[in-house]
A and B are shown apart, each in its own frame.
Chain A
Amino acid sequence: MIYNYETLPDNDNLNNYSYCLNVVNQMIITKGKMIAYYGMLRFEAIGVNLLDLIVQESLNTPRYGNNFVVVTGQGKLVLGDRACEIASYDLEDAHLTVKASRVLAFSPSLICQESTLAGYLTFLGTGQLIASSNGPVVFLEAPAKVDPDAILGWADLPSPSYHYDYEYIKDVFSAVGSLAGLKKSGEERQLNFTGKGTILIQSSEQ
């Protein structure tokens, strides 16, 4: 299969690891994730000029603002992220939280805010979000306990809390843990999701 401007899909995967965005007006993408494009596209860093008007509503995150860039113009843009699996999420009146390092692009119609859990971004509203994952994304209904490294995000759920395994706590209290220099692995500490909603899990640790 040889792609050209016409045969490239509009907003769809080329394979598991690459995604083609049809840029019509604006799109917010993460720096360094563009691998190729056709057409007349301009890339502008946040906070340069009038683009702020576009993003002041949608990009409400001082901490991660620098990770993003606004693409304007008309063209087809291919995203890739270290050969990780890429998926697109069509959000409708949504409340979705995603690991910040996994966000590749989103439409300016969404509102992006920092989650209370460090390292995560929450997306509110209606629009498109593109994120990568290590292995295909698995959807799991809460309640469940998940290795923090394998989490991609969660939808319509309250922020999770940490659950420590009993053996681990016992080790810590008996000071054996500190002596042995215990490293926390997924078996010892998990994110505990309660309530009703969906958890997005990568098939492997980050």
Chain B
Amino acid sequence: MTSFALKNDRLLQVALDNEEILATAGSMVACSGNIKFEKALLGGEGLFGVLKRKVTTEQFELMCVKGSGIVYFANKAQEISILPLNNEKVFIESNSLLAFDKNLKTNVAFAGIAGATSGQGLFTTTVEGIGHVAVISQGGILAFEVNGIYPFCVDPDAFIGYQGNVQKEFIFDVNWKTMIGENSGESYQLKFTGQGIVYIQAAERPRPKS
């Protein structure tokens, strides 16, 4: 397993020993040793990835980082959390991914109802296998258990990811709608049931302007 460590809350330090990881393009801030960077595509995204890139304004590109040495990664001074995966599968909002082991399997899924064009949905990357995932958030990630006793609802703009046997549904609460107001576009909630963990951040992502 590649060595992922936090130099501080906002800086990821990866020591490579003839190893290979994937990271979002442009996230390298410093490096020493003999490191090579190559363009890479998110694993297994295929045709869907092209579609995704069309509808999301943001370029979600990955680079392959390999060689021997120390590489530092950061993104907009956001907090970084390292999730160790031990033959597990985690669903992470694609924009919140910073870096992960090359030997982890990834895939992209779109979860939503009204479709990508309205912005009412989420692009989620699934990461699966054994290795480390570095996730960025504003203010650090908060983990909440979903256990079937109490339903758990989150603001989709604060949602980061989840793992386990969790079902999610979008709820359009009329009350909620009046509460939020039209202009913010925040007219729905994400409700989780089942058994697992949900990750959120203490900040709302700005919505793409339509």
Contacts and interface: CB of A to CB of B under 8 A. Distances in A.
Interface of A: 1-5, 14-18, 31-32, 34-39, 42-45, 48, 66, 69, 75, 78, 80-83, 86
A35 B145 contact: no
Given A4-B147, A80-B201, A83-B202, A37 B142 contact: no
A15 B202 contact: yes
Interface string B170-196: 000101101111001010000000000
The 5 lowest CB-CB distance pairs between A and B, nearest first, are A80-B202, A17-B139, A83-B139, A83-B138, A18-B202
Nearest to B203: A83
Contacts of A18: 139, 142, 202
Nearest to A79: B202
B17 interface: no
Interface string B192-210: 0000011011111000000
B155 interface: yes
A16 B139 contact: yes
B145 A15 contact: no
A43 B187 CA distance: 13
15 contacts: A15-B142, A35-B201, A35-B204, A36-B142, A36-B152, A36-B154, A36-B158, A38-B150, A39-B150, A69-B179, A78-B142, A80-B201, A81-B202, A82-B204, A83-B203
A4 B139 contact: no
Most buried by A among B140, B144, B184: B144
B139 A36 contact: no
B181 A31 contact: yes
B203 A17 contact: yes
Contacts of A82: 138, 203-204
Given A18-B142, A37-B152, A81-B202, 10 more contacts: A4-B144, A16-B139, A35-B201, A36-B154, A36-B158, A39-B150, A43-B175, A45-B179, A80-B202, A80-B204
A66 B182 CA distance: 12
A63 to B, nearest CB: 16
Interface of B: 138-140, 142-145, 147, 149-155, 158, 173, 175-176, 178-181, 184, 186, 197-198, 200-204
B153 A3 contact: no
A45 B176 CA distance: 9
Contact of A17 (B144, B147, B155, B202): B202
B155 A36 contact: yes
Contact of B151 (A15, A38, A45, A83): A38
B150 A32 contact: no
Nearest to A7: B145
A43 B179 contact: yes
Contact of A44 (B139, B154, B179, B204): B179
Contact of A2 (B143, B155, B186): B143
B202 A3 contact: no
Nearest to A43: B179
A3 B145 contact: yes
A32 B204 contact: yes
Contact of A34 (B138, B145, B155): B155
A42 B175 contact: yes
